[in-house]
Structure 1
Amino acid sequence: MTIHFAIIFPLLMAALIPFIYKAFTKVKIGWFVLLAPVTVFILLARLIPLISSGETQTHTYEWIPSLGINFTTYLDGLSMIFGLLISGVGALVVLYSIFYLSTKEALHNFYCYLLLFMGAMLGVVFSDNLMVLYAFWELTSVSSFLLIAFWHHRRASKAGARKSMLITVTGGIAMLAGFIMLHAMTDTFSIRAMIAQAPSLVEHTLFIPAMICVLLGAFTKSAQFPFHIWLPDAMEAPTPVSAYLHSATMVKAGIYVVARLTPLFAYDLTWFWTVMIVGLITLFWGSFNAVKQTDLKALLAFSTVSQLGLIMSLLGIGSLAFHVDIDATAIIYTQAAFAALFHLINHSTFKGALFMMVGIIDHEAGTRDIRRLGGLMTIMPATFTIAVIGSMSMAGLPPFNGFLSKEMFFTSALHIAEADVLSRASATALVPVIAWIASVFTFIYCMIIVVKTFFGTTEKLPQDRKIHEAPLGMLISPFVLVFFVIAIFFFPNVLATYILAPAMVSIYPGLASMQEMTPHVYAWHGFNTELIMTLGVVLLGFVLYRTLAVWRRIYNTLPAQFTLNHVFNRVLSEGENVSSFVTKLYMTSSLRHYSLYIYVFLIVIIGGYFIVNDAFRFSMANNAEIHVYEVLLVFMMAVAAVAMLFVQSRVTATVLNGVIGFGISIFFVIFRAPDLALTQLIVESVTTVLFLLCFTYLPAWKPEKSSRREKTTNAFIALFVGALVVLVSLSVLHFNEFKTISSFFENAYELAGGKNIVNTILGDFRAFDTMLEVVVLCIAGIGVYTMIKFRMRKGDDRHEN
């Protein structure tokens, strides 16, 4: 129950904000919004002792039990980590935004989107049902789109939001296909139930396709190569959004899915190779490209890409534990997953602080361009302290938490190079090399952040404003984060025992005990290979930083047309051109053409199917007797239909159309269908009145002049469609190719409790369809009402002027 509340509470507050935000005119609404993440964090923190003891919490609300789709929440060690990050960092981001954002901004919109995203992320990490997880997954894409495009007056913001939406939603659709395949294999949507069947699924033909589809969703959301290109463009969002979505939460959603489904897919080595290789490429490519950036947020964006690749590669290495015996070798590989989770937390602390630091600089100096910054150490000493602690932790130096997880990363990379369970030993030998080179570039861009921004002279700083230290309120959140950066370094085993250890059981259920899989974390390992690698990173990184001007020109060797961004923009542009060309072929603004397309399609598809399957078979022998009054009624309707083609008045055409409609209602009475007759009479009466009302405001009717060829075509199409409908209607009486569903609906009273079959079909059997029709009508009504009110308001303004 607590976990359901944790998900729903931010969503409810998001729904309330549009109605209550005016009550906070003198006090920022952010203080009210802060209540949501703080409440969720406290609720989860109270459960830490329970979860650390190995217990879990689960609760189910039935939603669509017939399809196995229920709102089931599951709290274990893994979801606890993400829940604490989402709520804890969320609280700090909201506090930071209270002082960062101007009261002139549309704060009610901003906080509504932020709470919507927070609830969606909590739904992702706490959902045990894959369909519910997917619903929240796409809600994160929608809400992040709104947050990235918050400054919608900027073209770059709209472009970044569109790019992130296109890439992440496309990956989400692929992931949905993977979830459906998993259901086809396991006959359940429960993640826990699927994991219980994992060893028997490896040989299934859908196993690899499902794995690939799920990984596509995870890679796009967590900005893995080559899908990482959306993340730098998303930096156009306000800094609180970057600090929250792009360092601690949204980009970690893919990490969560990979970690959660590792015990499901890791029994096949394809999972290991794919996750590890993609992670390593992302690690290197992100760190390499971060060095050339001149915008501090863009630099941090590429560094985030790199760090996400590091975590992803560690999860891939950790999956090897499923391919060795449960002994010391397996424990070695599980420690890679431990390092992944450890660095996940560390990254959220130092990267969140760094994003906030950049936001402070942008807020006070008016620029994030490294080429226009320098000498800020004496002007902004508190911000400088945040930058040094965050950057050195990201570079993997002591005494900061990033050093501990980076050393564990080196250890895992060295172990994978020595693994004897793999046939491609030469390929795995490159892992520590790539890890080390990427760490060198990481050190370089960390030096750029600190030295280029805070050292040197102040001559390049903008001279149109007085730069000073940020207010205390804006410094609280980043200082809390850097406090944890240092505290975790000195007390890592508190975190390991109470937070990380239970999560290891989630990734490796039944593989070994919690204590065996949780290493004792300590800073000093002696003079080992990992320490030598770290010293090499510092020495080479410092030399390369000092000679940056000499070798930085290598970034210009790759032509712009070969970059991934250019390819994306070209594909998008060409796709728009092709779609525009195809659309113009049939969107001619002619109702005749549109009707022609529809009827020709009907003739070709329906008529073709019946001809190919020899389905035009019928017999009149068993038909009921046709009475004279029925023949007269049909004749009257036919005369009215033909007469409509030749009349010159809209009123006359409306009356003739009414004759046809009322004639159909009489047929319903004859065939003992009073409900349909009543509905037809009401609809026909209302539409006739509406037609006559509309015609009052239309200009005089001028019949269209059509050529003989067009008239002949129209006549043939009309005759073909009319004949086809009659023949199909007669043929279906004897068509037995498909099993009829009428027997199912005849049991409507037992199944739905309704004595009227038509009502039960509309209100129960196809309830979703009916509900969505009502929603569409409601949205259309709101749109019409808004347009009328807007026009009236504009009219009033003109009148006043």
Structure 2
Amino acid sequence: MSLVFLIFLPLIAALFIPLLFKKLGRIHTGWFVLIVPVILFIYYLTLLPTTLEGGTLVSELSWIPSIDLAIVAYIDGLSLLFSLLISGIGALVVLYSIFYLDKKREQLHNFYVYLLMFMTAMLGVVQSDHLISLYLFWELTSISSFLLIGYWYTRDRSRFGALKSMMITVFGGLMMLGGFVLLSIMGNTYSIRELIAQAPELAGHDFFVWALVLILLGAFTKSAQFPFYIWLPDAMEAPTPVSAYLHSATMVKAGLYLVARFTPIFAVSGTWIWLVTGVGLFTLFWGSFFALKQKDLKGILAFSTVSQLGLIMSLLGASAMGFHVENAAETVFKYAGFAAIFHLVNHAVFKGSLFMIAGIVDHETGTRDIRKLGGLMSLMPVSFTIAMIGSFSMAGIPLFGGFLSKEMFLTAMLAITEFDLFSMDVWGLLFPVVAWIASVFTFIYSFYFVFHTFAGKHKPEELPKQAHEAPIGMLISPAILAVLVVAIFFVPNFVGKWIVNPAVAAIQPFLYDSPSDVHVHVAAWHGAITPELAMTIGIFLIGGLMFWTLRKWQRSYDAFPDKVSLNRLYDHFMYMSDGGANRFSAVYMTGFIRSYLVYMFGFFFLIVLSTLFLNEAFAFDLTDLAPIGFYEIVIALALVGGTITILAAKSRLTAIIALGAVGYSVALFFVIFRAPDLALTQLVIETISVALFLLAFYHLPKSSKKEERIGFKVGNGLIALGVGATMTLVALSAHSQKILPSISEYYKETVYSEAGGGNIVNVILVDYRGFDTLFEITVLGIAGIAIITMIKLRLTKKEGQHENK
């Protein structure tokens, strides 16, 4: 089965949803949609043996061969991992949405079209081996996520969140495109595989650092790294199935995928390690710290997502350190890449379940405000159990998968202190210290989410709805994810062997030749008290104490007012930009066509002349021109005189006659140059035009002489002379620098033999430009029909008014 076809399978299915929406009757549209991710997930599972052995699959669809543009689907361990997450969690999200979204009240056909479009975009991102097609899919994720986030478009916050996410991620996408272009110039290829093979040679190129920074901008904006994270909390205005899908397995993971995919190229650079690790670690701390300020369940999860993405990003940065360490595969540096992928899987599982539980709480109580919630443990026991499993895994507590990857994260951060890239010990020490502090806050907000919602005192009087357990259908998806959370803890090496190792081998090819070389044994207990275990015990003790006293010190967040925040800075920038754009537009948008012509012609001759002179593109060779005769000089003077008369005329009649004289002068030129057909056409057109002008002006009201006189403006005169000079110089220069023979020679040779005609002008119009002429006639016909219709409407209106009188 073609990999490219599988990428577009969700989009193809989306085409049938509007047709099936009304045909399905009482059947929820989601049941039809569910088939697509299930098929994809099952197929991708069958590819696991291939990637486990280090094999890859490639499928190509040529798009525009002339510019080497193609859609190349490439499956290795890394892309297969993401494809499994996209399709597997996508299937669970669709199943969840069937019970979450009401068929009668929601526009399900729109929702599932957007969702399938997004699924195609994500599959295209993680499987593309062509830089340009990757960019196209990347921007499609921004467009489709914009539609998903703004699904409830009647809500102001939904529209605002959708626009905000699109503005930030599209900005990053454009920066990323610039990096891709520089990479393609450096390596003379668009293939990511070929660029990875050239990585050592690319490192010395002048564009290398520029490409690195631009690509990271794209990754940081998409994966909500500081300071670009501000779009993610506002994206929580989307329906919960969208939030669960975008922020656990897809949208925000695209940036992580980009960093992982390009690590083999940029690992040689210390700048890459500093930026990726440093920004990721700071984002981890920032997100975990401010998660406790939130009062909305999805807001807490949004900031927790920011922090967890920062954790994975820092690990991906640390994985590049193995490039600089001899025998790194035998040291603790091997843990960074493995921990990054392992925690990515863990995060997708437990965060998906937590988002679904937040949606269930909102669905069954009518609110997500954690201040109004509490005591739901006995009313919603299944939801509480699932929420506890997901939260404990996020907090890094034993018996849950998150504990294992969190331990490996601490191991990797401790290893950074021994890395030679950091010349000062204090800088290396900051990494594990910040990681430990952020982990303490991660522990607290995980407990904050689950226990402030389900434990404590029940407040039925503050709930819009009477709380009760969700229907079984809504619980299936989060329950499956909760089971996986526990299963990963007990069989981590099974997951590591089949899913994590092939992805790690793709991220760190400088360490491993194949997945079988990745020897990382995951265990909850290593037989001794290790430094990372000691750090974990400290996290539990300090985190537990701080959670116990949370209400006392949580008020300190009031010292960080919303008015002083990156969100407000973004809002202020957008308002200023909008106001500034309006004021600037008011300056040049005068409503007069003559003003717009001045702008266009002015920029035209300035840009063209300056460009041609700076590049020394002018060259004049007039030796092969025909001599200028007496009649041509006379007609040219008449043409110029007629033109000046039009501008200086004091009456409309004089201007119209002068305009006709200009047209007739052009017709005489055609006569002299032996083009009788063109001369006849010009004479007919000029005669009709003059007559129509006279008829039209006859019906206009009389105007004063002041209005008839057109004042001379120096600026307009200079622009007119500049445009005339530019066209003259360009024409003479183009004639003097002919590289290819004129197309007229082809017409001369083929007009009789090929087209079977004797008149070259007629043959060009009818045969060589047949479709062009046909469309011109069509346009004229449409315009004529419109004019006749307008005249009839006006006559009908007048007749009606006459009858009423």
TM-score, scaled relative to structure 1: 0.85
Change (3 A) 1:120 1:655: farther
Contact 1:381–1:469 (Cα < 8 Å) also in 2 = yes
Distance 1:346 1:130 in 2: 29
Change (3 A) 1:723 1:537: closer
AA matched with 1:565: N
| 1:506 CA drift (Å) | 0.7
| 1:716 CA drift (Å) | 2.5
Distance 2:295 2:503 in 1: 38
| 1:424 CA drift (Å) | 3.1
| 1:269 CA drift (Å) | 1.3
Q: Secondary structure at the match of 1:166?
A: helix
Q: Secondary structure at the match of 2:154?
A: coil
Residue equivalent to 1:385: 385
| 1:562 CA drift (Å) | 3.6
Contact 2:632–2:669 (Cα < 8 Å) also in 1 = no
Deviates more, 1:599-608 or 1:117-126: 599-608
Residue equivalent to 1:554: 556
Distance 2:745 2:531 in 1: 74
Structure 2 residue ranges without an equivalent (≥5) = 748-753, 756-760, 762-771, 791-805
AA matched with 2:567: N
1:738-793 CA-to-partner distances (Å, cap 9, x unmatched) read: xx5546989999xxxxx99x9xxxxxxxxxxx9xx99xx9xx99xx9xxx9xxxxx
AA matched with 1:344: L
Q: Secondary structure at the match of 1:520?
A: coil
AA matched with 1:149: G
| 1:710 CA drift (Å) | 4.1
Contact 1:648–1:703 (Cα < 8 Å) also in 2 = no
AA matched with 1:480: I
Distance 1:722 1:419 in 2: 64
Change (3 A) 1:92 1:661: farther
Residue equivalent to 1:313: 314
AA matched with 1:716: G
Residue equivalent to 2:586: 584
Q: Secondary structure at the match of 1:376?
A: coil
Change (3 A) 1:8 1:634: farther
1:397-441 CA-to-partner distances (Å, cap 9, x unmatched) read: 121111111111111112222335642332111212111111111
| 1:24 CA drift (Å) | 2.4
Residue equivalent to 2:5: 5
Distance 1:727 1:12 in 2: 53
Residue equivalent to 1:355: 355
1:110-155 CA-to-partner distances (Å, cap 9, x unmatched) read: 1111111100000000010111101100100111111111111111
Distance 1:665 1:193 in 2: 63
Q: Secondary structure at the match of 2:73?
A: strand
Contact 1:647–1:653 (Cα < 8 Å) also in 2 = no
Distance 2:676 2:275 in 1: 62
Distance 1:473 1:245 in 2: 21
Matches within 5 A, 1:246-261: 246-261=247-262
AA matched with 1:582: F
Change (3 A) 1:734 1:547: same
AA matched with 2:558: N
**Which of 594, 597, 606 does residue 595 from structure 1 map onto?**
597
The answer to whether the aligner puts 1:395 opposite 2:395 as a matched pair is yes
Residue equivalent to 2:291: 290
Q: Secondary structure at the match of 2:378?
A: helix
Residue equivalent to 1:796: none
**Which of 574, 578, 584 does residue 576 from structure 2 map onto?**
574
Deviates more, 1:149-158 or 1:507-516: 507-516
Residue equivalent to 1:17: 17
Matches within 5 A, 1:359-438: 359-420=359-420, 422-438=422-438
Change (3 A) 1:536 1:664: farther
Matches within 5 A, 1:502-517: 502-509=502-509, 511-512=511-512, 513-517=514-518
AA matched with 1:459: K
Change (3 A) 1:733 1:174: closer
- Aligned alpha-carbon RMSD (Å): 4.0
Deviates more, 1:521-530 or 1:408-417: 521-530
Residue equivalent to 1:56: 56
Contact 1:89–1:248 (Cα < 8 Å) also in 2 = yes
The answer to whether the aligner puts 1:539 opposite 2:564 as a matched pair is no
Deviates more, 1:526-535 or 1:6-15: 526-535
Residue equivalent to 2:83: 83
Deviates more, 1:79-88 or 1:151-160: 151-160
AA matched with 2:566: L
Distance 2:705 2:12 in 1: 55
AA matched with 1:110: F
Distance 2:27 2:509 in 1: 49
Distance 2:89 2:615 in 1: 63
Contact 1:654–1:688 (Cα < 8 Å) also in 2 = no
Distance 1:98 1:705 in 2: 73
Change (3 A) 1:113 1:666: farther
Distance 1:665 1:251 in 2: 69
Residue equivalent to 1:262: 263
AA matched with 1:173: L
Residue equivalent to 1:27: 27
Distance 1:745 1:390 in 2: 72
Residue equivalent to 2:751: none
Structure 1 residue ranges without an equivalent (≥5) = 750-754, 759-769, 789-801
| 1:724 CA drift (Å) | 2.0
Q: Secondary structure at the match of 1:488?
A: helix
Change (3 A) 1:634 1:21: farther
Residue equivalent to 1:471: 471
Contact 2:460–2:466 (Cα < 8 Å) also in 1 = no
TM-score, scaled relative to structure 2: 0.84
| 1:660 CA drift (Å) | 4.8
Deviates more, 1:590-599 or 1:79-88: 590-599
Residue equivalent to 1:304: 305
Change (3 A) 1:396 1:590: same
AA matched with 1:377: M
Residue equivalent to 1:793: none
| 1:102 CA drift (Å) | 1.7
AA matched with 2:492: P
Q: Secondary structure at the match of 1:60?
A: strand
| 1:332 CA drift (Å) | 2.2
Residue equivalent to 1:38: 38
Distance 2:76 2:744 in 1: 47
Distance 1:374 1:465 in 2: 14
1:532-584 CA-to-partner distances (Å, cap 9, x unmatched) read: 22221111111111211222233222354542112212222222222222211
Distance 1:704 1:307 in 2: 76
Deviates more, 1:636-645 or 1:81-90: 636-645
Contact 1:156–1:236 (Cα < 8 Å) also in 2 = yes
> How many percent identity over aligned positions?
48
Change (3 A) 1:463 1:511: closer
Distance 1:332 1:665 in 2: 89
Change (3 A) 1:68 1:447: same
AA matched with 1:134: Y
Contact 1:61–1:71 (Cα < 8 Å) also in 2 = yes
Structure with greater Cα Rg: 2
AA matched with 2:575: S
| 1:620 CA drift (Å) | 5.9
Q: Secondary structure at the match of 1:248?
A: coil
Change (3 A) 1:373 1:419: same
Change (3 A) 1:483 1:722: closer
Deviates more, 1:19-28 or 1:655-664: 655-664
Distance 1:264 1:349 in 2: 29
Distance 2:453 2:185 in 1: 55
Change (3 A) 1:743 1:325: farther
Residue equivalent to 2:765: none
AA matched with 1:403: F
| 1:199 CA drift (Å) | 1.0
Residue equivalent to 1:174: 175
Change (3 A) 1:629 1:113: farther
Distance 2:392 2:51 in 1: 32
Residue equivalent to 2:798: none
**Which of 624, 627, 646 does residue 626 from structure 2 map onto?**
624
Q: Secondary structure at the match of 1:230?
A: helix
Matches within 5 A, 1:605-624: 605-606=607-608, 622-624=624-626
| 1:611 CA drift (Å) | 7.4
Residue equivalent to 1:277: 278
Contact 1:371–1:460 (Cα < 8 Å) also in 2 = no
| 1:338 CA drift (Å) | 0.4
